[in-house]
Amino acid sequence: MDTSTVKIILQILHYLFFAYAFAAITSYIVLSIISGKETIDYLKKNSFVDYKDILSSTMSPSITIIAPAYNESLNIVENVRSLLSNHYVNYNVIIINDGSKDDSLERLIEAYELEKADFIINEKIKTQPLREGVFKSKNPAFEKLMVIDKENGGKADALNMGLNISKSKYVACIDVDCLLLENALQKMIKPFLEVTNAKVIAAGGVIRIANSCTIKGGKLVDVNLPKNLLVQSQILEYLRAFLLGRMAWSRLNGLLVISGAFGILDKETAIAVGGYDTQTVGEDMEIIVRMRRYMEEKKEKYRVSYIPDPLCWTEAPDSYKIFISQRNRWTRGTIETLRKHRKIGFNRNYGSFGLLSYPYWLIFERLAPIIETIGLLYFMILVILREVRWEYALSFLILSYLFSVLFSIVALYSEELTFHEYKKKGTGYKLVLLSALEPFVLHPFILYAAVKGNYDYYFNKKKKWGTMTRKGLATTP
Amino acid sequence: MSKKIVLAEDNTTLSLLLKFRLEKEGYELFMAADGKEAIELINTNSPDLILTDIMMPFVSGLEVISHVRIKLDLDIPIIVFSSAGQEEMVLKAFNIGANDFMGKPFSPNELIIRIKRLLI
Amino acid sequence: MPDIQNIMDQYHDLPFLIQLAWALSGVLSIAIVLLTIYLKIIRSYLRKKAQHHLAYKNKYEIFLVEYLYSGNDDGSLSDTQQTIIKKLKTSVKNKAKRKVIISILYKLMNEVSGEMSDYIKTLYHETGLINFAIDRLYNKNWYIAAKGIGELTRFNIEDVNEKVSEYALHPRREVRNEAHLYLVNLFRFEGLEFLNNLKTPLSEWAQVQLLETLQKFDDQQICDIKPWLRSSNNSVVLFALKLAKIYNQFEVQDTLMELLNHENKTVRIASIEVLTNLYGLEAKEMLKANFKDLSLEEQISFFEMLEKLVIPSDEPFIEKHLFHKNFEIQLLALKILKSINLDKFMAIDKKSNHKKANPEILKFVKST
């Protein structure tokens, strides 16, 4: 190969990277604008809504909260109590003790005066069998509660058991260690009840980070910005993802994922598609994609809704080790889902789902870390070959850095003008500073975890299955 | 000695309103914003009567009743407040031992009458 | 200043793309700085607003409590009350204060009744709060008008019903919904007249709110719901079915029977449920005769009906469906058989080798 061919190849690569970056940035700008519009609409619509009748009416549709628990004995009693005190009349709570090896079940029996109940399960979705059985409380004050003790089968399997058991029209799938605010169910059920021109198959909530917040008696009393830089950065990341990203995709009806930590599904549709997939580490994304696909194939109008109110608070990983393994799992979940449903991608039969949402996820979520890594390698080769044109490299590096800082600040604006959770004096300054630091303290680790996730997915099958049976309950935001 | 009343209610204006009224009638009031606080107040102050909203954050009115009747085994009068649509919960409340209920919206004067009747 | 001159010269010598990148970077940097400063301003503004809100709330809450307790025995306004009204009259001119006062009154209207709620309404009139709400009705922004309607509903203001009625067929669902609630809140069942002309779907959300509003009143004299059961708008039919169920409308049984053949499945199923509640024995016989032609969901609803309305002569029919392929039906059929003929039920064991029999269900029904 003579030098001119190398030069041409380099030149082409150059332009490809440039085009990719340009497209990514454009998409961010477009999504921000759409999310701004959607946020304003949402605020207008909700400026006069009265939830009182809905929450207290027995005519409101029934909801079952399904909360899988695995070795959660430390906090399970408190967490269940907070689930039982949601402000909604027509709901019940099913705790699925997924083969825990600790004393979770004993603690629940003791605290809620449970006794074994006769129960027959219509096994519409195949699951692991019961272990100790089904429990209900003797005390009418806890009538809403049901505890199922089953053999371990992972989070998806536990959720499927809940789907089989629930007699409600809707199921709210949550992580048992999340703090749900008391108005969570009434707010989340709203889209199902008000949309009349399409069937709402699922609604997703926002996940907020509870580290360093004061929780008293199942209530969020005080919101604080944690000291830990990693957790701080994740707060900023979540704000961007939820207030800008999800909000925009919700307007486009293009949401591919609702958080496994808190989302409501239409039970009938969830069962019709066969429930959660027990073979993936990203079951929360996968089921939404499958439900959408099902509706598209049935040619029925549907929606996946999104409620931006901060209703669900959870602990984020505060060590890099746990953080990386969490992101590694998310990466594998995304790859699995996109691969399993690759038929949808670029397929006109699936409408905007196939032509917009899927390709976007593939190109800007799934492939981004890979392209970034290739870019870095390419850059290093250039350095070795002394081919770097520093004046270009430097100016564009600074430009993209400034852009990412600006994007974070826009997300901060979105937060301040809507929910304004971080009220304390001095926090604003810290959040801006964080916007400047985040590209250095969080991004490299996300990239590393994503690359590792890719590696594990393709070359380390043992790891893939290993994490699944260990199955932490942490979920995609 | 004045009779003691524990009032568990999460709407602050209503609590304030009832507090003024009941104190004027000569009762001693202990205010709780949720069921958990109510249980603490009941444990420490041994009230003569309990007023509790049925739907409260974290620990519901039902649990407050069952705490008083089962855990503490006391038969002091309990009046529950309920909103429209909570009939089922009111029935449950009676089953575990509530003495009376007031459906919101209610008239504070009516409440006073019922309290007096229960405290004779 | 030679340095800047120098930099400018170098900048002009750069290739276009780099020039562009630096120029954009400059713009972004300025934007970041400005936005940061503005963010600080917004945050301190919001903080101050929250502080004021709290201070106002504490202040006006005490005012209002005092107002409510200082009435004359004959129900007329006392001097203390007059003074408080005067004070509030100036306060409500301030938007932030008005918001706080309204929100306190709003909450109280939900919780107190009788003489107290009358006093609150008087206050609402006398302080001129009512005028602000009426002004909103004429606002060109739909969400402000909707908010105004909501407020007038809560305080039972009747004089604006003509204006509000105009909104009952408004193109925005949210506005329509508020107008409907207003009408029903004031005129109860008569307020439902808008259903006659409603072409747009009535959302489930709106239906629940309307039903709850209707149930608030002591006077539960319902009007004729037949026209709505026959409406061409399916959501109106479903709403009327809910009314029939809640208010035990035995007189519409015949119309309900017609709905068993409605083209919409949800309507058909809801009709079966309502007829179950109304002891529709005639409907039961009819459905039994057509059982084969029903959809699975209707079949399940029918068995739920049978569970409540079964009579001994249904036994052969139930026996025929004991081992229905559907889980729910099989469970219900066994339960019903057990309730009407225990001996026969206990004898099933021997012949339960039917290929669709689910031994778990049998075991469960036996044990309960």
For residue range C75-88, what is the model confidence (pLDDT) as tens digits?
Answer: 788 888 899 999 99
Q: Which residues of B touch C64 (CB under 8 A)?
A: 13
Where are the extended beta strands (E) located within A100-166? Answer: 114-116, 130-137, 145-150
β pairing state of A170-174 and A262-266: antiparallel
| pLDDT exceeds 90 at position A414 | yes
Q: Do B20 and C65 touch (CB under 8 A)?
A: yes
Q: Cβ of B91 under 8 Å from any chain A Cβ?
A: no
The Cα-based distances of C314 to A93, A366, C272, C336, C343 in angstroms read 37, 60, 17, 10, 16
End-to-end CA distance of chain B: give it in Å, rounded.
14
pLDDT of the residue at C123 = 93
Whether B85 sits inside 8 A of A57 (CB atoms) is: yes
Contact B106 C62 (CB under 8 A): no
Q: What percent of chain C has pLDDT over 70?
A: 98
Secondary structure of residue C78 in the 3-state scheme: coil
DSSP structural state of residue C216: T
CA–CA gap between residue A171 and residue A93 (Å, rounded): 10
Residue type, C171: P
What number does CATH give the domain B4-118?
3.40.50.2300
Of A48, A192, A403, the CB nearest to C147: A48
Collect all residues of chain C within an 8 Å Cβ-Cβ radius of residue B102.
Answer: none
**Cα–Cα dist A105/A99, whole Å:** 10
Q: Residue C368: CA atoms inside 13 Å, Cβ hemisphere, count?
A: 16
Q: How far is Cα C249 from Cα C243, in angstroms, rounded to an integer?
A: 8
Task: Tell whether B63 lies on the interface with A, counting CB pairs under 8 A.
Answer: yes
pLDDT over threshold 70, residue A424:
yes
Band the pLDDT of C348: cuts 50, 70, 90.
confident
Closest CA to A178 of A18, A383, A315: A315
Cβ A57–C364 below 8 Å, yes or no? no
Cβ-Cβ contacts under 8 Å, A194 against chain C: 173, 203-206
pLDDT the model gives residue C1 = 56
Closest residue in chain A to residue C44, using alpha carbons only? A425
Whether residue C270 contacts residue C204, with contact meaning beta carbons closer than 8 Å, is answered with: no
User: φ, ψ for residue C189 (rounded to 5)?
Assistant: -65, -30
Average pLDDT over residues A222-242: 94
Closest Cα partner for A367 from A415, A331, A326? A331
- pLDDT, tens digit, 9 for 90 and up, residues A352-384: 999 999 999 999 999 999 999 999 998 898 899
Residue A475 above 60 pLDDT? no
Sort out which chain B residues have CB atoms less than 8 A from A82's CB and list them: 58
Q: How far apart are CA C40 and CA A271, in angstroms?
A: 49
Statement: residue A464 has pLDDT above 70: no
**Mean pLDDT across chain A:** 91
Pick the residue from chain C with its C-alpha nearest to A48.
C147
All residues of chain C having their beta carbon less than 8 Å from the beta carbon of residue B84 are: 212, 215-216
* Chain A residues 70-129 with CB within 8 Å of chain B: 81-82, 84-85, 87, 89
What pLDDT score was predicted for residue A310? Answer: 93
pLDDT at B8: 92
Stretch A327-336: mean pLDDT: 94
* Cβ atoms A173, A260 nearer than 8 A: yes
Instruction: Compute how many other C-beta atoms are within 10 angstroms of the C-beta atom of residue A366.
Output: 19
Res. A477: pLDDT tops 60: no
CB contact under 8 A, A217 and B60: no
pLDDT tens column, A242-287:
999 999 999 999 999 998 889 999 999 999 999 999 999 999 999 9
- Mean pLDDT over residues C254-260, rounded? 94
Between CA B68 and CA B58 the distance in angstroms is 17
Interface contact flag, B86 A57, Cβ < 8 Å: no
What is the reported pLDDT for A472? Answer: 38
In percent, the amount of chain B with pLDDT more than 70 equals 97
Where do the structural domains in chain A lie, given as residue ranges?
Answer: 1-48+178-472
- Residue C221 or C201, more confident: C201
Closest CA to B58 of B45, B44, B40: B40
8-state DSSP, B6 = E
- Hey, are the CB atoms on C112 and B24 less than 8 Å from each other? no
Check C108 against B108: CB less than 8 A apart: no
Chain B residues with beta carbon closer than 8 angstroms to that of A140: 62, 66, 92, 95-96
pLDDT at B33: 85
Q: What is the pLDDT of residue C322?
A: 87
What is the signed CA dihedral for A421, A423, A426, A429, rounded to 10 degrees? 40
For the entire predicted model, the pTM comes to 0.91
- Whether the pLDDT of residue A465 is over 70: the answer is no
- Which is it for the CA torsion C86, C87, C90, C94, positive or negative? negative
Distance of CA C6 to the CA centre of its chain: 69
Q: Across A128-277, where does the E strand assignment appear?
A: 130-137, 145-150, 170-174, 179-180, 199-209, 214-216, 219-222, 262-266
Nearest-CA distance from C235 to chain B in Å?
22
pLDDT level of residue A215 (50, 70, 90 thresholds): confident
Q: Tell me how long chain B is.
A: 120
Q: Decide if pLDDT at A1 tops 80.
A: no
User: In chain A, which residue's Cα lies nearest the Cα of B84?
Assistant: A56
Report the range of poorest mean pLDDT among A11-15, A30-34, A398-402, B67-71.
A11-15
Supply the pLDDT for residue C355.
72
| Beta carbons of B24 and B48 less than 8 angstroms apart | no
Domain boundaries, chain B: 4-118
Structure tokens at A314: 């959870």
Chain C CB contacts of A405 below 8 Å: 28, 32
Chain B residues with CB-CB distance to C109 below 8 A: 105
Q: Which of A85, A186, A219 to mutate: most B Cβ within 10 Å?
A: A85
Residue A474 binned pLDDT confidence (cut-offs 50, 70, 90): very low
Residues of A in contact with B65 (CB under 8 A): 141
Chain B closest CA to C178's CA: distance in Å?
Answer: 19
Q: Which residue of C has its CA nearest to B14?
A: C108
Closest Cβ–Cβ partner in A118, A413, A423 for C50: A423
Q: How far apart are CA A386 and CA C222, in angstroms?
A: 88
Lowest-confidence segment of A212-216, A408-412, C21-25, C303-307 by average pLDDT: A212-216
* Confidence at A468, pLDDT banded by 50, 70, 90: very low
Cis peptide before B105 (omega within 30 of 0): yes
pLDDT at residue A466 tops 80? no
CB atoms C25 and A425 under 8 Å: no
Give C-chain residues touching B13 at CB under 8 angstroms: 61, 64-65, 104, 107-108
Which residues 3-62 of chain A have a CB within 8 Å of chain C?
44-45, 47-48, 50, 52-54, 56-57, 59-61
Say what the pLDDT of residue A289 is.
Answer: 96
Best mutation target among C66, C112, C185, C211 (most B Cβ atoms within 10 Å) is: C112
**Cα–Cα distance for residue pair B104/B83, rounded to 1 Å:** 5
| Dihedral in degrees, nearest 10, Cα atoms A101, A106, A108, A114 | 130
Q: Is the pLDDT of residue A470 over 50?
A: no
- Residue B58 Ramachandran class (φ > 0 left, ψ -120 to 50 alpha, else beta): left
Residue C346 CB partners (closer than 8 Å, separation 6+)? none
Whole-angstrom Cα distance, residue B65 to residue B83?
Answer: 17
- Please indicate whether, in this complex, the C-beta atoms of B89 and A57 are within 8 angstroms of each other: no
Q: How many CB atoms lie within 10 A of CB C62?
A: 13
For C110, the closest of B104, B107, B109 (CB atoms) is: B104
Taking CB atoms and an 8 Å cutoff, what residues of chain C touch B106?
111-114
Residue A291 has pLDDT above 70, yes or no: yes
